[in-house]
Structure 1
Amino acid sequence: MTKSDLFKVALLGVPFDDNSSFERGPALAPNVIRNVLSNGSLNGSTELGVDLRASERWLDVGDINVATSENFIVAIEQRCDQLLSNNTRLVTLGGDHSISYPVLKSYRKHFDQLTILHIDAHSDLYDSFKGNRYSNACPFARVMEDGLCERLVQVGIRTLNLHQEQQIAKFSVESLEMRHWPLSQPLVFEHPVYLSLDIDGIDPAFAPGVSHREPGGLTTREVINMIHQINMPLVGADVVEFNPNKDIDNMTSQLAAKLVKEIAGKMLLGAI
């Protein structure tokens, strides 16, 4: 058995939303999602047949304490470095979408080739937003500037403006807009995949608990199928921008917990 066969997958919380550009609240999400995962309403089995509760390779490593917004990049990157160096891959719970940048800075040290699958209503490619280059509207501009992936594929996009279109062209991003949905052919990847899943990529009919509700999005089933159909090892993921303050009857917390389960199960089935 090789070292890669022994990797673990850890749930890591980042209760941080200082870079939210509209409404605060996503910092509450990690605790809420954990509560759903453990409260008995869901069992431990995933649709792909992985029983997370019976797996010794699935663990919860708690939260990262981000003391100030000034040190959020260093704090997140260093904790991810510790875990990845210990052969532990991560399902990270945001928090706002700014956390993806430091997580991916760490991932790049451990994976020479990486594709990012980004599910979102927004491209998050602003060079700067409201004077903040680390806003939740900017993480993938920083990711692409730093060369943290070979390929960035964005699915669910439905709010592009001229600046974002220019950024897409500048960084050669594959932006698959919802106005062209469904895809003409399945996504095919050549490298290990990191999934960045903004809950507002899903239509607010299924996920009302977000700060930026944008109608016309993906269904829950479409997102789950997309996760299941990833043809290369899924080596990491973040689930971000769930805002419990905006939820209705716990709909979005249940959805986020379901997605965490399916992502973790898919990761545990992979090997590289």
Structure 2
Amino acid sequence: MRRIPVIGVPLDHNSSYLRGSARGPFSLVEALHCDSANLWTETGFDLGPVLDHRGALDLSDRDTAFKVIEETAAEIGRSGRPIFLGGDHSVTYPLVRGMKRAVGDFTILHFDAHPDCYHEFEGNPYSHACPFARIMEEGLCTRLVSVGIRTAHGHQREQREKFGIQWLEMKDRAHWPVLSFDTPVYVSVDLDALDPAFAPGISHHEPGGMTTRELLDVLHAVDAPIIGADIVELNPDRDLNGVTAMVGAKILREIAGMMLSD
């Protein structure tokens, strides 16, 4: 059985509104190994002998942080199917650049309340509000599907049309299509895709979101190999009794289970 590398990406200097998600990887790993749960997946895999914890990257130098992230993703992606733990959503851009170098073409399945495709936000083109603009500009994925969207600026709607991004918006939940993929899939989970009732430990609360089960249902239905993933935007400073960290750990387990399924 393949091993699954788990790597922390503790960066949040590209966040707007609040900092704190740089501590997310550590809270998520702690929750993953909490004695209140176990390491079995719903798809029937014991992750105890499978997860390969690689610690967290040293991103103390802001000028080189994206380069370190990209090089790590490229190196690990060539030999494994890594799960990266953010950090804010800006880390997805260098992660995807590295994974593209490692494995070639893939689709991105993106869970989020926000499209995160601003051309720039508050003067920062590398803001956590912008990763998918950079990704689409560089042609780093063959298709981008964003699930759970429920707050979109007019500019981001223009970006959707410009780049051909597919949105599954919460207002249309009753009519979402069944997704199917003809390339491998990279999964990016911003925990604010979930309603704040299920994930209070995030910086940007946006009511009207997905339940944990709805997200897992979409994930479990992926019909192509999952070659990598990130889980981002856990802010321990806002979490309540570790609920969001436990939700993030659950999502990690189920992503890992899907990686082992094909």
- Per the normalisation by structure 2, the TM-score is 0.97
The aligned residue for residue 16 of structure 1 is: 11
Equivalent residues in 2 for 1:34-113, closer than 5 Å: 34-55=29-50, 58-85=51-78, 87-113=79-105
Q: Pick the aligned partner of 1:182 from 130, 153, 174.
A: 174
* Amino acid aligned to 2:198: F
Deviation sequence 1:47-102 (CA, Å, 0-9, x none): 000100033xx3111111112222221010111222123x1221100000000000
The whole-number CA distance in structure 2 between the counterparts of 1:154 and 1:120 is 7
Distance in 2 of aligned mates of 1:246 and 1:148: 33
Corresponding residue for 1:219? 211
8 Å contact 2:107–2:141 — kept in the other structure? yes
Alignment partners' CA distance in 2, 1:68 and 1:21: 19
1:109-153 Cα distance to aligned partner (Å, 9 max, x none):
123321000000000000000010000000000000110000000
Aligned residue for 2:201, secondary structure, equals coil
SS class of match (1:70): coil
What are the ranges of 5 or more consecutive residues in structure 1 without an aligned counterpart? 1-5
Aligned sequence identity (%): 44
Range that drifts further, 122-131 or 75-84 = 75-84
1:122 is matched by which residue type in structure 2?
Answer: H
SS at match of 2:115: coil
Output one character per residue of 1:169-219: Cα deviation in whole Å (capped at 9) or x when no partner: 110100111111134431111110000000000000111110000000000
Counterpart check, 1:119 vs 2:111: yes
Q: Which has the higher mean CA deviation after the structures are superposed, 149-158 or 34-43?
A: 34-43
> Do structure 1's residue 30 and structure 2's residue 25 form an aligned pair?
yes
Residue 154 (structure 2) aligns with: 162
Aligned length in residues:
262
| Secondary structure in 1 matching 2:109 | strand
1:3 is matched with which residue? Answer: none
1:13 match: secondary structure = strand
Deviation per residue, 1:7-31 (Å, 9 max, x gap): 5311110111010011001011111
Separation in structure 2 between the aligned mates of residue 103 and residue 155 of structure 1, nearest angstrom: 19
Question: What is the aligned-residue RMSD (CA, Å)?
Answer: 1.1
After TM superposition, the score normalised by the length of structure 1 is 0.94
2:128 to 113, 136, 140: 136
